[in-house]
Amino acid sequence: MFGNGRKTIGLFIFSSYEPYQQEICHGVAEQAYAKGYNVAVFNSFGSYGDNVEYFEGEARIFDLPDYSKFAGIVLATDTFNIDGAQEKIMEHIRSESRCPVVSLRQAMNGINNILLDERETMEEIIRHVIEVHK
């Protein structure tokens, strides 16, 4: 995809300037670089005001990539805040891509999911504070 002989991972995310999203971008890039992969980040700034034409223009960024060129795709769909964006990307993936796809923090049928049980973690933290730090 970049003409440098390395495979490319596509990262689809919204609002990459936010702290959580920055951590995702940095983490994916760091690991990809360590393994000899490129990363192509497709970011939308998401919903802004109530201008429908703006939303449509923002969502068009996901029409740009050649999905068949990716060696893997990472979806941060819990950051998406434009209606229909997730469906649009999934249509491209289903029709054009043959690579592994991973969803972060949101369960999606038919692809790999990396999920966190934040409720259990919070229960353990609260239990620790109550029992150990009386």
Q: pLDDT tens for residues 36-84?
A: 999 999 988 766 666 667 767 777 888 999 999 999 999 998 888 877 7
pLDDT (tens digit, 9 = 90+) per residue, 110-123? Answer: 887 777 767 777 88
Report CA 75 to chain centroid distance, whole Å.
Answer: 3
Model pTM?
Answer: 0.81
Position 1 scores a pLDDT of 60
4/1 Cα distance (integer angstroms) = 8
Mean residue pLDDT of the chain comes to 86
Give me the amino acid identity at 56: E
What CATH architecture does domain 8-132 belong to? Answer: 3-Layer(aba) Sandwich (3.40)
Position 48 scores a pLDDT of 64
118/91 Cα distance (integer angstroms) = 30
